[in-house]
Structures are given as C-alpha cells and as structure tokens.
Structure 1
C-alpha cells in the first residue's frame, strides 16, 4: 500500500500528493485510483481537474465533479486512450464542467448527465512598463506594425499557419525582401511570438530559410508591454478553451485575430476577427483589414476594452463552483 503524506497549509487546507501521470501507466494508475479512494472516503465533494485525474477519480468513486480543460487534437493510440477516458468521465461523473461549448457537446453525446460551463477567472491586468515605441525599438520593428502571438511552440497552437500568413504577399513589400525579416520600415508587418516549446528549431529553420518577417522571442515576462505595442493579438490555434492570453489582451484593449475554435468565440465576441482554423488567406485578410482601416482598428480596440471589463473575476468563479457543489 502506498503511504500518503498529508501536509497542512497555513490556511488550514490539507494537501496530499497523488501521482497522476500524463500517459497511461497501468500500475501507477491503479495506485492512483486506490489512493484517491482512500483519501476521499469521507469527502462530501470531490472535484478533480483534467481528463486523466477526472477519469481516475471517477474509477475510484462515483459522482465526482470533473472540470475538463482540454480537447483532443491528436489521433492514433493517444486519441483512442483519450476517448476511453472521456467515456469514463461522462458515465461516472456526477457533474462535468467544461471550458468550451464544443467540449460540452461532446460530453453530452457520450452520455454525461449534467454538463455545465466552467468559469475561468481573468488575470489581473498589469500595466505596461515601456512605451510602444520602446518595445518596437528593442524588437527592431522600426515603424512597422507589430502582430503578437503568445503561445507554447507546440502543435496545438497552429504556428505553421502563422508562418504561412507571415509569408505574404504584403502591400509595399514581400516577406522575403531584403531587410524585411528583422527590421526596417515598410508595408510588411513584423510577427513576434513569445513562448518556448518543442517546435522552436523547426519553426526557426523555416523562418530563416524563407526569410519570414517573424521573430521567436522565447519566454517573456513583459507580455503587457508587448500587448501595448501590438496592433493585434494573433491566435491561430487548432483548439483553445478559455485562453488567459486572449483575456489579458482584451483587458488591455488589444483586439485579436483568432481561430474560430473551442471557447474563443465566446470570449472574443465582437472584440476581434474570427477566422476558420487553418484559413491562411482569411487570417492574412484580417490582418490587412486591421492595418489598412484605422476606424476598424479603433472600433475593435474599444470593443476589446468593453469585453475585458465583462471578464469574470475570482469571486465570480468561486461562487459558480460553490453553486455546483450545492446543487
């Protein structure tokens, strides 16, 4: 039997670590199920987050409240396992909270009895510490417009679409024109990507080979500064739930051009431009429209500010979860 160590926090909460891996591990998963069963024997409510934690908890006891944060974007064996876990949650969870309407529809189709929308608190807005021009000077953008993407450099984020968009053509120049890949002025916007991940080398090779107007910035701690300097946030993701970066952009008055997937449409509303996932020309047209029409840019920026004020805060999220527990 695995010994479980409980740790009491200064607030009175008791923490007990249960190892839940991100890949199937039959023996480890069995240990986790048994540990969860022992730990939650006397609990009135059990609320795991994530599909694997939710499925293992549902195998250990019936009726947990499960919050699902992600959708499957891969196939093959991983997709098969994911589908099995989804069915366990759908059939054994008491309530399922989801971060996007499409997740809710899928769980309902799989037989979930009670599916509800999960609220996610917006991050507290942080003021920019530098002017937009200072940021652009650091990035070598000159007078060129800046388009920002904040993402892990991974398959889910659709960054191959971003590079296709950046390849142009653009009014006043081409992506591969001399001097347009990293600085100067002209009609070619500069796309900057904040974040790290397993696709960095692959993306950088293509950027260099095609001389694309894209800079990979790595991890940054000055996202508010970048948002303040950007014309728009560009989010070409394959899927998103309730992305915090999008919420942060809206709260700073930065409109977004984003894939019409997952929970993005519900968050963005009229504060940006939705494009079908993978529609390169659609993204490029949206960028051009924002750069060419000051009135459109100002309208979307004002809508972003309004939408940002409507984002739920921590108290809203706590009350919504307590309401689920009470029901």
Structure 2
C-alpha cells in the first residue's frame, strides 16, 4: 500500500437492523482511524446514516435474497470494486457474501462475515446447495469473521475451511445504559424487537403469549419492527399485544421493558440481546446459534421452538420474586465486559491489518 492508509470497501445487503448497525459501526470506526472507507449498499437507512457520518456510499442495487438477479448484481458489484480500487473488501451477510465473492473471485483480499449462515435459513436440497457454495467459496475468502464460537463451529461442520477469527458483535455501552427504577407505568412488559420475519420468530412468541397472560394477566407484549410477516401475524392479536414500527433508536423500548425475548429460529450473534443487556435488561431466547453465547448469565435460553418453555421463562422473570433483578445486573456487566463496540472494532481492524500485511501480492 506504499505507506498510505488502507482503502476498505464494505459491502452490505441488508441495509437495516442488526447487520447494518454493525457495518455502520465498523465503517465509522475505520474512518476515525484515518482509513479510506467506502460502503457499497442499496439505498436505505444504512446509506443515510453513513452519509450523515461522512462515509462515502457506493450505490449497489441488490435484493435481500438470492435469485435470478444475482448474476447481474455480482457484475454491478464488480464494476463498483473496479471503480473504487480497494485494498480489501469486507462482505457482510449471505447476499453480499455471494455476490461479492462472485465479483472479486479472490483477486483482492476478501473478508466474509456471515452474520448467520445462509444454510441455517433453509432445509433439504437448498441447504445442501448453500453448504456446497460456502465450501467452494472458501477459496475466494482470505478470512472468515464469525460473530460467535457457535457460528464458527457451524461453518466448520459444513466444511468451510477458511482461516477464521471470532469477533462478537459490539454495542455502544455508553448509549445503551440502564436507568434506575422500575418500568415507567408499572405494567409488566415483555419486549420483542426486530424485523418481523420467519427468522426472528415473532409468530412463536405469539403462540407462547396466552400462557404468559394466564400466569400474569396484566402482562403486555410490545413488538417493535416492520417486515413481510407483520400484517399476517398482527391480525387477530388482542389488546395485550402492542405493535410498533421499526425505530432507529431502540433504547427507550429496552428501558420500558421488564424482559426482552428473542424467539429467533436462527441467528449468529443477536445485536438485540447485547443492546438489551447493556441497558440492564434480562433476555430470554431460544437456544439457536450464538444466543446462549450472547446471553450468558444475563438471562436464559430454552430449547429451540419450545413455546411453552419460552412462556415459562418469561413468566418467571415477570414475577417479583423471580431472577430478573439479579440477571439484569449481570447482563449489564457482561455487555460492558465482552461486547463493547470499541473492543469489536479494534479486533476487526487488527484482522484487516493482518490480512493486508500478508497479502501484498493481491491486486485487482
């Protein structure tokens, strides 16, 4: 790089929720380091946030999932890479990982950060094809960044051989911080925050909700988020269930909750859990990839898909004599100790520096 600062191109699809938050954190941190940082992504909240932060955005039209448009999206991304001339590309999530590695094909150093494996989202022949792709794409990946030990283990079990580093997601533990005292209006409140999709599993929480209400009749469920399943899943819910639109500032929702629930069908390292814990809120979730690793002693996990166990765990944390108070204190300590965004950003910067120092022969 002839002594100059590295030029890094992050590529992201999706452009909202947890993945976008991590991309923005890393891009802004690397900008502050004096690096030449760009982000290729479709229009949306991520591009708007980066523009406000002074990080150049390279428009890249791409749908969220794979499909017939993928070859054209890969060609468009190859043009972006050619125009920017980065020293390294950092691909975030499955779609960017697919299009980006087809576009670059190992000609410049490439990092891939799955943020949850594509093969966890599907079954049967489609899952087998996704595993085969990830195995083959290892030859075009200089480093895999897994957000949890469990995510890395799942990749290794699928045959992904790329040299890897585990770097947990990070949160701003100054911004996400507890406030003293009980929930403002005293109503026992359960929060589920995230895109309303099959992955995030709000339908499973809704199946568990009648058991919670039977045990705690005054309980209220607040679901914050938009997504393709919202209209269907919100239809027919009663007055104990409150639906709110997605927000760019979720802190107040965490602070108004007694317990935060993650009913996800699959994950990598859920940012919602880390933000809630930083706010001193206990978390209950299904035991899918990365969730137990995130929560630790700041809440509990139950078997994946077991809605009755989920309900029982929530009820226990709504009771005055339950474990929520002690878990809340441990959750805050855990978030500050292990998941501060500065720690995560530093580790990613170290990975990039290491890859670039050992890959001087790579050129576009």
Q: TM-score range by the shorter chain?
A: 0.7 to 0.9
Q: Distance in 1 between matches of 2:252 and 2:239?
A: 23
Q: Distance in 2 between matches of 1:37 and 1:295?
A: 54
Q: Which residue of 1 aligns with 2:170?
A: 121
Q: Which residue of 1 aligns with 2:273?
A: 246
Q: Which residue of 1 aligns with 2:95?
A: 52
What's the offset of the Cα at 1:113?
Answer: 3.2
Q: Kindly tell me: are residues 86 and 113 of structure 1, through their superposed partners in 2, closer, same or farther at Cα, counting changes over 3 Å?
A: closer
Q: Distance in 1 between matches of 2:70 and 2:192?
A: 38
Q: Kindly tell me: are residues 255 and 27 of structure 1, through their superposed partners in 2, closer, same or farther at Cα, counting changes over 3 Å?
A: closer
- Equivalent residues of 2:178, 2:280 under 8 A apart: no
Q: Distance in 1 between matches of 2:161 and 2:256?
A: 44
- Equivalent residues of 1:95, 1:114 under 8 A apart: yes
2:130 is equivalent to residue 87 of structure 1 = no
What's the offset of the Cα at 1:13?
Answer: 4.5
Q: Any gaps of 5 or more consecutive residues in structure 1? A: 1-5, 137-142, 173-185
Counterpart secondary structure, 1:149 = strand
Q: Kindly tell me: are residues 171 and 33 of structure 1, through their superposed partners in 2, closer, same or farther at Cα, counting changes over 3 Å?
A: closer
Q: Kindly tell me: are residues 13 and 289 of structure 1, through their superposed partners in 2, closer, same or farther at Cα, counting changes over 3 Å?
A: closer
Q: Which residue of 1 aligns with 2:289?
A: 262
Q: Kindly tell me: are residues 96 and 222 of structure 1, through their superposed partners in 2, closer, same or farther at Cα, counting changes over 3 Å?
A: closer
| TM-score, length-scaled by structure 2 | 0.70
Q: Distance in 2 between matches of 1:82 and 1:149?
A: 29
Q: 1:303 aligns with which of 317, 330, 341?
A: 330
Could you say what the CA RMSD is over the residues aligned between the two structures, in angstroms? 3.3
What's the offset of the Cα at 1:222?
Answer: 5.8
Q: Which residue of 1 aligns with 2:112?
A: 66
1:164-202 CA deviation, whole Å, 9 max, x = no partner? 111126456xxxxxxxxxxxxx73411111111121221
Q: Distance in 2 between matches of 1:17 and 1:225?
A: 32
Q: Distance in 2 between matches of 1:315 and 1:169?
A: 38
- Equivalent residues of 2:273, 2:283 under 8 A apart: yes
Q: 1:288 aligns with which of 298, 315, 336?
A: 315
Q: 1:187 aligns with which of 217, 229, 234?
A: 217
2:147 is equivalent to residue 99 of structure 1 = yes
Q: 1:144 aligns with which of 187, 192, 212?
A: 187
- Equivalent residues of 2:170, 2:341 under 8 A apart: yes
Q: 2:349 aligns with which of 317, 322, 325?
A: 322
Q: Kindly tell me: are residues 295 and 154 of structure 1, through their superposed partners in 2, closer, same or farther at Cα, counting changes over 3 Å?
A: closer
- Equivalent residues of 1:166, 1:213 under 8 A apart: no
Q: Kindly tell me: are residues 77 and 31 of structure 1, through their superposed partners in 2, closer, same or farther at Cα, counting changes over 3 Å?
A: farther
1:112-155 CA deviation, whole Å, 9 max, x = no partner? 23122133221352468998665x4xxxxxx5311111121111
Q: Distance in 2 between matches of 1:115 and 1:234?
A: 30
Counterpart secondary structure, 2:211 = coil
Q: Kindly tell me: are residues 291 and 317 of structure 1, through their superposed partners in 2, closer, same or farther at Cα, counting changes over 3 Å?
A: closer
- Equivalent residues of 1:167, 1:213 under 8 A apart: no
Q: Kindly tell me: are residues 31 and 169 of structure 1, through their superposed partners in 2, closer, same or farther at Cα, counting changes over 3 Å?
A: closer
| Rg (Cα) greater in structure | 1
Q: Which residue of 2 aligns with 1:182?
A: none
Q: Which residue of 1 aligns with 2:236?
A: 206
What's the offset of the Cα at 1:78?
Answer: 5.7
Q: Kindly tell me: are residues 44 and 171 of structure 1, through their superposed partners in 2, closer, same or farther at Cα, counting changes over 3 Å?
A: closer
Q: Kindly tell me: are residues 98 and 203 of structure 1, through their superposed partners in 2, closer, same or farther at Cα, counting changes over 3 Å?
A: same
Q: Kindly tell me: are residues 204 and 61 of structure 1, through their superposed partners in 2, closer, same or farther at Cα, counting changes over 3 Å?
A: closer
- Equivalent residues of 1:91, 1:111 under 8 A apart: no
Q: Any gaps of 5 or more consecutive residues in structure 2? A: 1-8, 10-30, 39-55, 356-364
Count of residues in Structure 1 that have an aligned counterpart in Structure 2: 296
Q: Distance in 1 between matches of 2:153 and 2:315?
A: 34
